[in-house]
Amino acid sequence: MKKNLAQKIIEKHLLEGEIKVGNEIGIKIDQTLTQDATGTLAYLEFEAMNVQKIKTKLSVSYVDHNSLQLGYENSDDHKFLQSIAEKYGLYFSPNGNGVCHQVQLERFDVPGETLVGSDSHTPTAGALGMIAIGVGGLDVAYALSTGKYYFKMPKIVNIKLSGRFKGWVSAKDIILELLKRLTVKGGVGKIFEYSGDGLKNLSVYERATITNMGAELGLTTSIFPSDKQTKAFLKLENRENDWKEMMADEDAEYDEKIELDLEEIVPMIACPHSPDNVKTVKEIEGIKLDQVIIGSCTNSSLSDLLLVAKILKGKKVKTSTIISPGSKQVLINLIKSGALSDLVSSGVRVLEPACGPCIGMGCAPNSQGVSLRTFNRNFEGRSGTDDAEIYIASPIVAAFSALEGNITEPYGKKLNIKSIKNIVLADDLIVSPKKENKDITIYRGKNIKPIQKYSELENIITGKVIIKLKDNITTDDIIPAGSKILPLRSNIPAISEFVFSKIDSKFVERAKNNSGGFIIGGENYGQGSSREHAALCPRYLGIKVIITKSFARIHKSNLINFGIMPLIFENVLDYDKIDMNDRLEIENARSIISKNKLTVRNIAKNFSFNVIHDLTKRQLEILLAGGLLNYR
Ligand code: MIC
Ligand code: SF4
């Protein structure tokens, strides 16, 4: 059989199972990454696994999310992360060195290897021909201590790109077009593998924008072949030795195919409050802007910012405009090339290389403010201002809109940046693993609370419905981020006070008064980030079962990892028959190990309905044990 690239890499790393869509497989993991907002828990979990040596080839701990130091919490967590890295032989990328996915791409990604990371945008590395998957912290801890990751073999979809962009169109418009067509749940259970003659002109920077935002489609991951563009990028990074050609076989087989002619793509924009609420820029041109921000792991590369500088050079922006470079290396090269001076002269504010405003760490818009950003998510309230309207578009659209002060279709003859032939390598902040690490003491600030294990699954689960939710609930809805809540990421009792705080301020009180209860959700429950707090905090509040129409991939795994049953309505119409405060009961919960269906009694309304699941035997065993920490 002619093989596609994803199959080839998975096959090379296969440890358990048969590569067949829907089968659970275990693969060898070469690399891991964590960031500081998920990393502290991941390493506490790793410590709880009692393993003295990491089993991966290369692992990196980044500090990029909780960059503000408004109190001791974030700084203490960062010291903890550095001491863990020193003790267990990980690389450590400190505050100011850049956003994990950008730095990983520049300095660590290797074609043909596997990576799991406790951040949903880990698939960015697919731009260099890796199988890179976003997972919860506990799955990273597991990969560190065993070298393995288990997942259900996804469908492989071929995205065939032909032609070349016409005018002011860029990679962001490809992924926005796909989001428009397929929606935020269109990629669940799938890997997108890109091919076609359209690839010739797509640089690794552009590919990374596409693989990054594949997360918004719900994909397991996305991958590009490792070709001449990949070689050129690695050469620039002085890592040519890491290059090898990685291609699908000619006429490789795929489960599905989508064709896109790049010539037909036009500038696109995602409107509030979802990355799939996509229109053409032309359709909504003229909306007045209070703010423009260019940055985040989607669009903060050197090539993105050089082009923005070229567009803005010699002109003045008409609205508050901010850039946040993806890495210290990007920043240094902007300085050396003179582009930073052009940007600042045109009125742009410059932030340090970090996630920053993308995760609500500063630059929150004014009340009802309208902000155009080059990020990947525009969920309601994520910016830090609950009633702000956030739009997402390419750096090109952002630059033109900044010049006009309103949403603007790019105009005039397209400018191109000269292909980047030389860069200054600037990874000197990264701390390499030490040879001698016996005497390292782990630094534990008072914000870091020990990780708790939960008891095994009870057989009779009864409780009230304490919240009923609509479709596409995000993990930002479940446990918001932002500068006030993020510093509590290593303190589960404290951060649990904020569960659903943006959509129902009484939720936590109700959960406590009822010793937990049932959560009822719609389609794609738990989309978005990989933060396991969205599972762990409800578990801490006593939630043992969540019943929805469907779940997002990473969140479902996180629920299982912490012993919460992710159950699905057999008949979606039953969703409508359940109300808040109804008392529900599952009589024989543990029988799930041998059944794909359970009956739930609605005691309040005196009827029963069926719930199903799509869990593997291993996942069911984890659930019965009360989570992955008990299962090992
Ligand atoms: C995000 O973009 O939502 C985050 C913050 O990077 C998250 C991780 C987190 O919540 O810490 C993600 O994408 O996984
Ligand atoms: Fe950071 Fe934003 Fe990327 Fe998440 S999406 S990793 S918050 S830059």
The dotted CATH code for 5-264 is: 3.30.499.10
* Predicted pLDDT at 357: 98
Rounded Cα distance, 246 and 6, in Å: 10
Classify domain 461-481+492-631 at the CATH topology level.
Answer: Aconitase; domain 4 (3.20.19)
Query: Looking at ligand 1, which residue's alpha carbon is closest to its atom 11?
Result: 37
pLDDT tens for 365-389 read 999 999 999 999 999 999 999 999 9
Q: Could you tell me if 18 and 152 are in contact, meaning their C-beta atoms sit under 8 angstroms apart?
A: no
* 375 Cα–ligand 2 center, Å: 8
* 89 Cα–ligand 1 center, Å: 24
Whether residue 297 has its Cβ less than 6 Å from ligand 2? yes
In this model, does residue 553 exceed pLDDT 90? yes
Question: What ligand has the least distance to the C-alpha of 119?
Answer: 1
pLDDT tens for 271-299 read 999 999 999 999 999 999 999 999 999 99
* Predicted pLDDT at 132: 99
**Encoding tokens for residue 233?**
């990028």
476, 529, 553, 558: which to mutate for ligand 1, most atoms within 8 A of CB?
Answer: 529
The domain ranges of the chain are: 5-264, 268-404, 461-481+492-631
* 552 Cα–ligand 1 center, Å: 14
* Predicted pLDDT at 529: 98
Structure confidence at residue 419 as a pLDDT band (50, 70, 90): confident
Query: Looking at ligand 1, which residue's alpha carbon is closest to its atom 7?
Result: 529
Angle (CA) 71 73 507, round 5°? 100
In this model, does residue 471 exceed pLDDT 90? yes
In this model, does residue 632 exceed pLDDT 80? no
* 297 Cα–ligand 2 center, Å: 6
pLDDT tens for 568-617 read 999 999 999 999 999 999 999 999 999 999 999 999 999 999 999 999 99
**Encoding tokens for residue 297?**
């792991």
64, 66, 121, 300: which to mutate for ligand 2, most atoms within 8 A of CB?
Answer: 121
Whether residue 121 has its Cβ less than 6 Å from ligand 1? yes
Q: What is the DSSP string of 391-411?
A: EE--HHHHHHHHHHTB-----
Rounded Cα distance, 508 and 514, in Å: 10
* Predicted pLDDT at 437: 76
The helix or strand, by DSSP H or E, that contains position 629, with its residue range, turns out to be helix 628-631
Structure confidence at residue 256 as a pLDDT band (50, 70, 90): very high
**Fold match, 5-264 / 268-404:** yes
* Higher pLDDT among residues 418 and 309, named by residue: 309
The dotted CATH code for 268-404 is: 3.30.499.10
Q: What is the DSSP string of 562-589?
A: TT-EEEEESSGGGGGG--TT-EEEES-G
pTM above 0.95, yes or no: yes
pLDDT tens for 83-131 read 999 999 999 999 999 999 999 999 999 999 999 999 999 999 999 999 9
Query: Shortest CA distance to 475 belongs to which of 521, 512, 543?
Result: 521
pLDDT tens for 122-156 read 999 999 999 999 999 999 999 999 999 999 999 99
34, 36, 38: which to mutate for ligand 1, most atoms within 8 A of CB?
Answer: 38
* 472 Cα–ligand 1 center, Å: 16
The arithmetic mean of pLDDT across residues 490-511, rounded, is 97
The arithmetic mean of pLDDT across residues 550-574, rounded, is 98
In this model, does residue 438 exceed pLDDT 90? no
